[in-house]
Each structure stands twice: as structure tokens, then as C-alpha cells.
Amino acid sequence: MDGEAIKKYVRDNNVQFIRLQFADIFGVAKNVAITVNELEKALDTGIMFDGSSIQGFVRIEESDMFLKPDPQTFAELPWLKDYGIARIICDVYGPDGGPFSGDPRHILKRAVNESRSMGYDFHVGPECEFFLFQTDGSGYPTTATHDRASYFDLAPVDNGEAARMDMVMTLAEMGFTVEASHHESAPGQHEIDFKYSDALSAADNIVTFRLVVKVMAKKHGLHATFMPKPISGEFGSGMHTNMSLFAGGENAFYDGQAEYGLSREAMHFIGGLLTHAKGMTAITNPLVNSYKRFVPGYEAPVYISWSLSNRSPLIRVPVTRGVRTRLELRNPDPSCNPYLALAVMLTAGLDGIKRGVAPPPPVDGNIYDLTRAEMERLNIEPLPGHLDAAIEALLADVVVKSTLGSHITENYVKAKRIEWDEYTSHVHPWEVDKYIKVY
């Protein structure tokens, strides 16, 4: 839609309120609601809001900022249709009229523009996993699941099927093309995959997806969480990210005459991702809890390597070729800020193309079966093992820092160091159970 089409839709469909939605530097959705009487002003000049109230944005003396709606993101919220509520995703601007350097959507737009300047369109297909948990008598989430189902199980074993179907239908009403949905490996764990799209639309869709999943879960008396590893000893939730570059309408990753059917662009893109894997991890895996997922044996990648179809390394190249040739980066988790995560993935791959970075040979066997000596011989290194190490790796990576810009780098790192310090100084239940009786 353009602005005129939105105004006509609002009049014809009795829309009363518009939520102007944006994301903070951690990818958490925020919004300012306006009445339809303010819609024309919002579309023409934007709506002012207090940026100092958003963590990581600006100081109190620099608080006046503007939300400028992107008309193409207009959608009515199906669960609030009786109240006439729609949303538009916005870009954040400063009082000087320029894009705000701390707006994650702006960071991704800048990376996409770099890609286009090189002749490439970046396509992304995320696979988002989440858990459904029961709530207590006060409505607060527990870690008790409501099923004991496993991968691809059906009802009645899969008690989350009805909630998941409501999620899929709601997403469809909002314009999503859902390709698959199913129960995942752990009890109470689910996955919904939607069709690939351009990177900006994909990031917008991930933020919308997380909102829809939580709202529909609550409707069923459940709590949905994108926490990467909520239960010890069970599979964690990932956001495997399928990606490809297109040039002139053709998949730039495919070359039928090349080894593996992969073009030089594909191989160099893999090389770039591997080179910057450590530096990206604080963005793709942003929580202290994210690193509890990186445990051998639970299908989450631990080591920096790539493969053809093998699911144990960091990057997998699915068997399909031709127009569907793609790379799957397996370490991101669904708690990440999708705008920042896709931006650093893209610029890491583009850096590989610019510098002609050749990846090492693919690892075809189960990487978890390799000995330490075998991994050293193959030059296979692990991802950062905890958030503090990931922060240090980010600060050592010039490409990742350049992608994020100084504002987000400074504020993101500051917040994550506080998070790490809080974690390390807190006494956890495991410590009490382990030590209190013995010592």
C-alpha cells in the first residue's frame, strides 16, 4: 500500500487506531498508538516521541525523535479487529530530519543498500522455534510443558497443535505465506517457517511473528517464549537462517559447472561468514542463556565450519540447487534483533566476496565425533562459549562494528556487559543444590 491506499482502507474498514511500531536496539517491539485523525500527519511528517525513554536510543537532553511510517508494512491486527486496530512499522529519525543511527531498521537498510550497490539482492528465509509453557494461577509463565511430544508428532500427543494452527491462520491474515509448521524435538517446542523474502521484509516479519505467537499462545492459556534454552537437558530453540544472493533475477549462489554446484560468490560468502562468525555471535546470540544452547549433541552448532547437508557444522548447504540454492546459518537464535542479525550476516558475506575469502574444505562427518587433535589439524575453532567472550569478539571485528555503527556498538556492548556482570554475580539454584549440603 501507499499512503493514499492506507487512508482509503482505514475509512472503508472502520479502523480507529494505528499502532506506530518500531524496535529498540535489542529487537524488542515498541509502539506509539495514534487515532486515525493523526494518520495523515504521521504519513506526511512523522510523529514525535520521547527517544530518551527507549534503552540505547538517546539521552534525556536529546529526546525529541520522529517515527516515520513505512506504508508497505500496514496491516490490521486480526485479534484486535473488533476494536479497529492496525499497525505500521516505522523508521526512526532524529530532530535534524536524518535517519537515527541507533535505529536497527536503518542499520539493515544500509547493509541492503551496500549489497545492491554490488549488484545483489539478499533473500532470507528464517526458521523460528519457540516453546509453549503452562502458566500458574496468577498467569505467570512456568517451565512446565503441556505435552510430551517430539519431532513431527501429531495430536493428541502434540497438545500445542490448536494454538499453532491459530498462529498460522493469524499470520496468513496478516499477509504471511507460511510454508510449514510442526512440533519440534523437545516437549512443548514448535517451529513455524514462512516464505523467504527480501531482508528488510524478513526482519519485519520476524518481529511480527514473535508478537503473533505470544498473543495466540495467551489466547490458549499458554506462554510462548523465544528464550533459547529454557530447559536443561532438552533441545534449545534456534532461528536457522537460509540466505541467498540474487543478481539480475538469477540465483548468484548457483553454478552448475562448479564444484558442489556453488558459485564463487557462494564460496566467498561462506568464507566471509566463517571469518566473522565469532564477531557476529554477540548479535546473533545476544543473551547469557544463548550460550547454554551451544552444547554438543543437541543439533546446535558449536564449531566454525561448513558442510554439504551435514547438520553439525555452523553453515549447512542444503542439497537443492538452481534457483533454490542457499546457505543455512545455524547458530542464530530467536531472541536476536533480526535487523541487526541480518545486517551483520549480509555484510560478513559481502566482505568475503569483496576480499575473495576461500572457505576451508567442507566437513562431511559428524563434527562432534572429531577429537581435539583432529579439529586442530583441520583448523576448526569453536564459537565463543559465553556472552562475555562474544562481546570481546565483536569489539575485535572491524566489519561487524562498522556495520552496527558507533552508536549501537557502544550502547549494545554497554548493556550486554551489565547483563553479564549481573549473571556472574548472581547465586543460581544449581550452585545451592550442588554445594550447600557439602560445604
* Position 280, amino acid: M
How far apart, in whole angstroms, are the C-alpha atoms of residue 272 and residue 256?
A: 22
The size of the chain, in residues, is 439
Residue identified by cell 523465544 is 226
Catalytic residues: 50, 127, 129, 184, 191, 240, 311, 328, 330
How far apart, in whole angstroms, are the C-alpha atoms of residue 282 and residue 261?
A: 32
Q: Compute the Cα dihedral for 254, 258, 261, 262 and give only its sign.
A: negative
Residue identified by cell 526512526 is 92
Cβ count near 62 (within 10 Å): 12
Closest CA to 226 of 191, 276, 278: 191
How far apart, in whole angstroms, are the C-alpha atoms of residue 122 and residue 241?
A: 12
**In 174-317, where does DSSP find H-type helix?**
199-219, 264-275, 277-284
CA-angle at 308, arms to 307 and 312, nearest 5°: 45
